[in-house]
Structure 1
């Protein structure tokens, strides 16, 4: 972002009551909850479900954003908005498997778009890669390894000298070539971040996620410290400023600018922020947080107004983020994400569906076949099958899907965190299976001769009920075993992931997926 003039004060919170009951605010009968309340206000999150480490770009009247994609492929879905509140996915930017991907930076320079990507392709060490495109919708280039080894969380900035730099965790910096596709210097320490009092309850110091911008002649460095997960009071946002990207840096006297201070707050572990100018010239902060009691949903994307102060710093003005706030002014009406229900008549690979930890080329296991998807079987069970997954953002929801076994295949519907943490229901041509906490309950097997089955999972605030239908959903049989899954999140299993809907296809042959239906908070 370029330097701008002093912005007016952000809109205040509205004193509207938060809705009560099982149905999350903004949820339709079909689709995830929406941020826009339709009356000039919004409520967080602006992107529900697992969308952590947001990196946001203002490009004229348009805004683009992407998130950490971890082990999901296709990866790095680009989202678009014109009002900062309603967001819709465009397309994935990365098809080639780079292994685990953490916080990236999306930038535009000289009319070209770049994404700087920390990745661990072989599981033996991090480096930073870059992809580029002349159109935000792609096609995007193949990734280029910048060989910035052992670093994560790149943040791009053009210095007062006209040169391009990446800042990384630590907080370190390295100069780039003018085309941004190679390094042109050595990695060096750039800034010693502000430290919080020693008696604060945090995960660890962990300075990370540097995001930089110029404003009124100052270069502002916005950093996360305190650890990403762990205690709810750990993660936070701090800032410093300098007249030069080379320092010296001045700590903000108001640090931390954002921090969860009590487990009673609606959003936990808030941090990893980027500042962005709104359509009306007001200013906002985009960051992530865990919803109180629902770490299973992952880190969700939050929007909070900020105010530039007379001393040249800024302050967060959102207050209680569970309450409605006025939308940014003058933004053009922007579509939100489409409903999750999918008849498979058009390609949603990447924008909705992705494979978890696929082998090289494994993201090509799915092919569209009229009003269905055929998925090649992989592995022998959900524990090694690289399931097809879908992010959800509601506290309570129901999902159902018809599955046809082709060849010697096995398939099922899951709630999937990773290969060590999943639950679900599946079947072979002669057996119904149930999975609880990452293993099959063999004593709960039922004989069932069929190659076609419709499966349903109902999640009522982390209490799971599963059912099956032999007649395409006209009648249902509930499985006797119910499960509670509130512990399936990062603080237990690591990986910074979320509990997603998943479809596994194991054995040999293929599985046909038909008529996926999703609804928020229905009756079980």
Structure 2
């Protein structure tokens, strides 16, 4: 049986030479078990024995905004330049999550940390963007799956990371970066006052190695007669020891706020730890009444995967504060009890038998108005009209892959004058991949074209990309995958990440169509290694 048939049958052994198992080594002499595997062999948190192993949701799921809605939990993440964006994920046990629908379809800019709330029976998303203009928008829906309203611009061009909060007097507020807040109108769709400064965040010792003070990501929780404000300081990326979680509390939404005497509540203290730059936390109550914090962090050595969502057990203390109990999160944690487990994650493979899963799986990068009209799927074919001349200006279609090593392949056919291929894409200035036209390959590396050797396959071929823990190789086939030819250029991509390029993104697998005509993609297969 050939490699492709083994891949389609789920035979992981056919995908690559033997690879070292992911052991979860922490650098402290401990070894955690490997993750369980789900769709397409992707790692999942639930170990199946009453425990889970972080990440809660792998891949670039930064700035988690979580909402408890009766027996249901909903969560979404910063989606930056990917559209449709703000995909809502659903869980009933806090450990097993699956995506539902994207809330934001119109490109309003780069979407940063949002607030997901329910108030008076209506769902709200408060969305800060870097765009034209900068500022915060709000959208609303009467059902979590939408339809969501058109974005309403609120202003606030000098602030990020809004958090909706309701005071003891029923007043509605957005708490903002820098210790500021602003009052909302009763319907939550406009501002009802000026921005005011209400909190001076706790400061870490001067000799700590951080990216910068950057107080951001405030989250307001009401519990036991107190309002708690949880804030991130120390910078989102940069040194692994920078990002951290601090807390303050007040009897009133109007303050005054007192800092927790045990700040910081979470901080990476060594680059040897499993998770770096941990911060931006929210509190949530589990079905069994236990409390948990969800926040993000970079996986040791894998800035390329972006900031992944983590979950940490919380203990309320006798003095009315709380602490995190998960340590460095390198070891399995006992799951909360109760709630029914949903299927975990989603398959990334796509047979294109029906409409394209835009927002649920695939996203365009920086799409123009009407971008979705370029793509149509059905009958086993994704037809993607060409745009631009290269991946940098073609608005490629991308996925979020959360494993350290994986392989993806696809059958690609182009029209005369077209160019298409497969990518590992960070942004329009930093990506790699392999494309082809009717006569020549085009090699993409560092976000530029590197070589154009002859293409022996013509206008149709099958292409495979392997990312084996940052070592990238390409294979092509002219007979549908019965035999493969290794392409004579390998790459190393450990530097394709935020600390090199900025932008807060991740290195994502995807595909593109440029030049002229339409490219047809068939039988897209993803498999984690």
Between 1 and 2, higher relative CO (CA 8 Å, sep ≥ 6) is seen in 1
CA offsets 1:395-430 (integer angstroms, 9 cap, x no match): 011100111113421101010001111111111011
Q: Which moved more, 1:340-349 or 1:66-75?
A: 340-349
Paired position in structure 1 for 2:317: 309
Q: Does 1:419 align with 2:433?
A: no
Q: Does 1:353 align with 2:367?
A: no
Relative to structure 1, the CA distance from residue 29 to residue 186 in structure 2 (aligned partners, 3 Å threshold; closer, same or farther) is: closer
Q: Is the 8 A contact 2:275 2:328 kept in 1?
A: no
CA offsets 1:13-41 (integer angstroms, 9 cap, x no match): xx99523xxxx622357242111111111
Alignment of 1:90-489 (within 5 A): 90-122=100-132, 125-346=133-354, 347-442=356-451, 444-489=452-497
Q: Is the 8 A contact 2:39 2:345 kept in 1?
A: no
Relative to structure 1, the CA distance from residue 204 to residue 428 in structure 2 (aligned partners, 3 Å threshold; closer, same or farther) is: same
Deviation at 1:507, TM superposition (A): 0.6
Distance in 1, Cα, partners of 2:479 & 2:304: 32
Distance in 2, Cα, partners of 1:450 & 1:99: 39
Deviation at 1:149, TM superposition (A): 2.3
Distance in 2, Cα, partners of 1:227 & 1:359: 31
Q: Does 1:52 align with 2:66?
A: no
Distance in 2, Cα, partners of 1:482 & 1:90: 37
Distance in 2, Cα, partners of 1:455 & 1:60: 46
Root mean square deviation of aligned Cα: 1.4
Distance in 1, Cα, partners of 2:39 & 2:489: 26
Deviation at 1:338, TM superposition (A): 2.1
The DSSP-based 3-state class of the residue aligned with 2:500 is helix
Q: Is the 8 A contact 1:260 1:267 kept in 2?
A: yes
Paired position in structure 2 for 1:3: none
Distance in 2, Cα, partners of 1:114 & 1:78: 12
The DSSP-based 3-state class of the residue aligned with 2:48 is coil
CA offsets 1:124-153 (integer angstroms, 9 cap, x no match): x42110000000011100000012222110
Paired position in structure 2 for 1:75: 85
Distance in 1, Cα, partners of 2:301 & 2:128: 30
The DSSP-based 3-state class of the residue aligned with 1:30 is helix
Q: Is the 8 A contact 1:31 1:341 kept in 2?
A: no
Note the residue ranges of structure 1 that are not aligned, 5 or more in a row: 1-14
Q: Is the 8 A contact 1:81 1:335 kept in 2?
A: no
Deviation at 1:374, TM superposition (A): 1.1
Deviation at 1:446, TM superposition (A): 1.9
Q: Is the 8 A contact 2:38 2:345 kept in 1?
A: no
Structure 1 stretches of 4+ moved >4 Å: none
Deviation at 1:390, TM superposition (A): 0.5
The DSSP-based 3-state class of the residue aligned with 1:238 is strand
Paired position in structure 2 for 1:18: 32
Distance in 1, Cα, partners of 2:468 & 2:457: 30
Q: Is the 8 A contact 1:164 1:175 kept in 2?
A: yes
Deviation at 1:276, TM superposition (A): 0.4
The DSSP-based 3-state class of the residue aligned with 1:492 is helix
The DSSP-based 3-state class of the residue aligned with 1:491 is helix
The DSSP-based 3-state class of the residue aligned with 1:511 is strand
Paired position in structure 2 for 1:9: none
Distance in 1, Cα, partners of 2:156 & 2:372: 27
What is the number of equivalent residue pairs in this alignment?
Answer: 500
Distance in 2, Cα, partners of 1:407 & 1:189: 60
The DSSP-based 3-state class of the residue aligned with 1:296 is helix
Deviation at 1:120, TM superposition (A): 2.8
The DSSP-based 3-state class of the residue aligned with 2:383 is strand
Q: Is the 8 A contact 1:176 1:183 kept in 2?
A: yes
The DSSP-based 3-state class of the residue aligned with 2:372 is helix
The DSSP-based 3-state class of the residue aligned with 1:472 is coil
Distance in 2, Cα, partners of 1:96 & 1:345: 26
Relative to structure 1, the CA distance from residue 339 to residue 55 in structure 2 (aligned partners, 3 Å threshold; closer, same or farther) is: same
Structure 2 residue corresponding to 1:42, chosen from 38, 42, 52: 52
Distance in 2, Cα, partners of 1:91 & 1:143: 17
The DSSP-based 3-state class of the residue aligned with 1:337 is coil
Relative to structure 1, the CA distance from residue 449 to residue 470 in structure 2 (aligned partners, 3 Å threshold; closer, same or farther) is: closer
Distance in 1, Cα, partners of 2:113 & 2:125: 10
Deviation at 1:320, TM superposition (A): 3.4
Distance in 1, Cα, partners of 2:468 & 2:201: 42
Q: TM-score, normalised by structure 1?
A: 0.93
Distance in 2, Cα, partners of 1:327 & 1:100: 34
